[in-house]
């Protein structure tokens, strides 16, 4: 278990959001976190899992070669 534990501020910076977003993820139990006394830490692997689970792949359209006139 060689995971780096990040603060809410660090997670927000990594995700490019305000601190409110990771705090909401914690409150809604949508991300794994660890309580160390009164501090909340999020494992880096949990952030990577969250990103992977919410990544939307692009749709690949096949060119048909035929175009309809409007």
- Distance, C-alpha 20 to centroid of its chain: 13
Q: Is the pLDDT of residue 32 over 90?
A: yes
Q: Is the pLDDT of residue 1 over 70?
A: no
3-state per-residue secondary structure call for the chain: CCCCEECHHHHHHHHCCCCHHHHHHHHCCCCCCEEECCEEEEEHHHHHHHHHHCCCCCCCCCCCCCCCCC
User: In DSSP terms, which residues pair with 40 in a beta bridge?
Assistant: 35
- Tokens encoding 25: 């993820």
The tens digit of pLDDT for each residue in 34-64 reads 999 999 999 999 999 999 999 999 988 877 6
């Amino acid at each position: 278990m060689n995971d780096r534990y990040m603060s809410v501020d660090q997670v927000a910076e990594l995700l490019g959001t305000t601190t409110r977003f990771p705090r909401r993820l914690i409150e809604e139990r949508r991300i794994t976190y660890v309580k160390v006394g009164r501090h909340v830490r999020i494992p880096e692997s949990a952030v990577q899992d969250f990103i992977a689970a919410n990544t939307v792949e692009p749709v690949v359209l096949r060119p048909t070669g035929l175009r309809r006139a409007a």
